Amino acid sequence: MGRPMKARNPRTGALDYEFTAADEADVAAGCEALRAAQPTWAARPLEERFEILERFADAVERHQADIAQALSTDTGRWLLAASETRGVRPALERWRRYAPEVLAETRGQSQAIPSIRFTQQLVPYPLVGVISPWNFPMLLSLIDTLPALVAGCSVAIKPSEVTPRFVEPLQRAIDEVPELASVISFFQGDGRTGAALIEHVDLICFTGSVATGRKVGEACARAFIPAFLELGGKDPALVLASADPVKAADTLLRASVLATGQACQSLERFYVHESLYEPFVARLVEKAREVPLNYPDIHKGIVGPLIFARQAEIIAEQIADAVAKGATIRCGGEVETLGGGKYVRPTVLTEVDHQMQIMTEETFGPILPVMKFSSLDEGVRLANDSKYGLSASVFAGSLEEGEAVARRLQAGGISVNDGSLTGQMFEAEKHSFKLSGIGGSRMGPAGLARFFRKKALMMQSGQPLPIEVFAEDQARA
Ligand code: NAD
């Protein structure tokens, strides 16, 4: 039963955590149990489901220290690990605000034949599968799970094999709420476990890379189930001629370097109007040099180790490719091995162009390549010249000017005079463009609505049409 696996500690490089990957039979049996428990869960009144989920939030608070410690070991950072554990209650409050409107069964009447009225019945998908990545292990395991549970679904979660430690203490919190424990299960493992999961669920919420997202989308198509794919990006920032270069540099640095650039909404390429280019780059380099590593003390500094070792190779390859094609490293630029962990200091690159991987491929690290543009049209064209379309940022002298440019960008979430606001704003609905994803919005009321199928119940109070109405000679007349 199951395969033994090990996880690497990002601060030491040691393979110091062992766990068992669920195999096909484990997934099949677990999903069957979740499916059996779902009708009882869905039959509970909404308020009762919320009351149970609130008890789960209480249990997470009771186990907060253990979960945060495990997440911290998984990700090599402290503050963001602790903040992941505090997301359950605010998320429930948000879904509670939307639920009455989203779950209301609407009624109506046919315009053409007033004797026919209809009711829209909402039927939750019985079993939702969630497949999540390593960059925010708990947050991204629960981000779709909580609204699915509110909707009345059971949920099967396949977290990343890179960061499995948080599941054990989180499971202890789940076990303290027996009504919930029967409708939510974690299946540890790698892509094989994820692929098995797709065969046993009714809908998939996937967060991860484009390459895996494509495989997941294809498998879901074969299984004839909906797939919501939240994938990677190469988010651009535009700094217009009217912007304050110091404010723009300081803010965009944060939006690129936070979480060591390992966030889907991290800004990864910068286009600056030529009139501001020199002061912007000077400020960016000055501030980037000041950002400390969180090494050796995890409770100090800002930039943590790279969570996934392979990421260090990708970053080094992209920097080498850029330098070989003429880029200049203004600060940073090295992958450093410290205490067994892989670290990259904020790296500013100039003399870059779209022939370089650093401007076209997702980097997922604290790397800031800066290009200048001379006309607004050129800046917008460069920002849109990407196979991705997740999010973007515009800095301008006024919000009106920034909004006008934001309207021209091909991405789902655009921050104006700030960066990466999609990490702070859960109310606005958004759809990814191009390879960054497909499916309905995860945010806003639509994030709850996607877990229901709508049925039309059509009631005739008058006389049903007789067949003679469809006689050919009737039509001629
Ligand atoms: P990944 O695609 O390598 O893995 C994601 C998950 O898919 C893991 O749990 C993995 O085990 C599983 N998996 C692998 N092969 C599978 C298969 N054949 N079938 C089913 N499941 C399979 O992604 P990652 O490296 O863990 O995460 C980083 C990526 O996630 C980046 O590209 C980042 O941009 C993206 N991301 C996107 C968002 C968003 O909201 N758009 C948020 C966070 C991260």
In a domain, 466, yes or no: no
What is the reported pLDDT for 83? 97
pLDDT at 476 (0 to 100): 63
Instruction: Select from 166, 206, 264, 435 the residue to mutate for testing ligand 1; criterion: most ligand atoms less than 8 Å from CB.
Output: 264
In a domain, 428, yes or no: no
105 and 211, same domain (yes or no) = yes
CB 391 within 8 A of CB 256: no
383 and 289, same domain (yes or no): yes
Annotated catalytic residue, options 31, 153, 220, 264: 264
- Residue of 84, 230, 268, 401 marked active site: 230
Q: Please write the tens of the pLDDT for every residue from 4-14.
A: 999 999 999 99
Pocket of ligand 1 (CB under 6 A): 131-135, 140, 158, 160-161, 190-191, 194-195, 207-209, 212, 215-216, 230-233, 264, 362, 364, 390, 437
Instruction: Tell me how far the alpha carbon of residue 278 lies from the centroid of ligand 1, in angstroms.
Output: 37
Whether the pLDDT of residue 276 is over 70: the answer is yes
Report the atom number in ligand 1 closest to the C-alpha of 436: 41
Say which amino acid occupies 66.
D
The answer to whether residues 217 and 88 belong to one domain is yes
Question: Does residue 431 lie within any of the structural domains?
Answer: no
Look-up: residue for tokens 């670290």?
Answer: 343
Kindly give the distance from the C-alpha atom of residue 207 to the centroid of ligand 1, in angstroms, as a whole number.
5
What average pLDDT is seen over the chain?
97
Tally of domains within the chain: 2
CATH number at residue 374: 3.40.309.10
Asked whether residue 46 is assigned to any structural domain, the reply reads: yes
| Same-domain pairing of 201 and 63 | yes
Q: Is residue 472 part of a domain?
A: no
415 and 442 belong to one structural domain: no
Confidence (pLDDT) at 281:
98
pLDDT value at residue 234: 98
- pLDDT tens for 379-416 read 999 999 999 999 999 999 999 999 999 999 999 999 99
Are residue 44 and residue 184 in the same domain, yes or no? yes
pLDDT of 477 higher than 70: no
Among protein residues, the one whose CA lies closest to atom 39 of ligand 1: 230
Cβ-contact 423, 263 below 8 angstroms: yes
CATH number of the domain at 155, please: 3.40.605.10
**pLDDT band at residue 51, thresholds of 50, 70 and 90?**
very high
- Residue range(s) defining the domain that contains residue 145: 3-231+437-458
In the chain, % of residues over pLDDT 90: 98
In this prediction, residue 128 carries a pLDDT of 99
Rounded distance, CA 166 to CA 85, Å? Answer: 10
* pLDDT higher than 80, residue 301: yes
> Is residue 253 scored above 70 in pLDDT?
yes
Determine the residue type at 234.
K
Q: Pocket of ligand 1, candidates 74, 204, 212, 364: which has the most ligand atoms within 8 Å of its Cβ, to mutate?
A: 212
Read off the pLDDT of residues 113-149 as tens digits, 9 standing for 90 and up.
999 999 999 999 999 999 999 999 999 999 999 999 9
Residue 32 lies in a domain: yes
Same domain membership, residue 114 and residue 11: yes
Kindly state whether residues 213 and 353 are assigned to the same domain.
no
Residues 34 and 117 in one domain: yes
The residue type of 372 is K
Per-residue pLDDT band at 2 (split at 50, 70, 90): confident
Cα gap 55→65, rounded to integer Å: 17
Please compute the mean of the pLDDT values over residues 232-238 and round it to a whole number.
Answer: 98
* Residue 76 placed within a domain: yes
**pLDDT score of 80:** 97
Same domain, 345 and 380: yes
Q: In angstroms, what is the span from residue 134 Cα to ligand 1's centroid?
A: 8
153 noted as active-site residue: no
Give tens-digit pLDDT for 86-121.
999 999 999 999 999 999 999 999 999 999 999 999
pLDDT band (50, 70, 90) for residue 349: very high
| 210 C-alpha to ligand 1 centroid (Å) | 8
Q: pLDDT confidence of 352, banded at 50, 70, 90?
A: very high
pLDDT in tens, 174-224: 999 999 999 999 999 999 999 999 999 999 999 999 999 999 999 999 999
Residues 187, 257: one domain?
no
- Examine the residue annotation and report whether 205 is marked as an active-site residue of this protein: no
Question: Does residue 476 belong to any structural domain of this protein?
Answer: no
CA of 195 to the centre of ligand 1 (A): 12
Say if residue 178 is in the same domain as residue 30: yes
With cut-offs at 50, 70 and 90, classify the pLDDT of residue 475: low
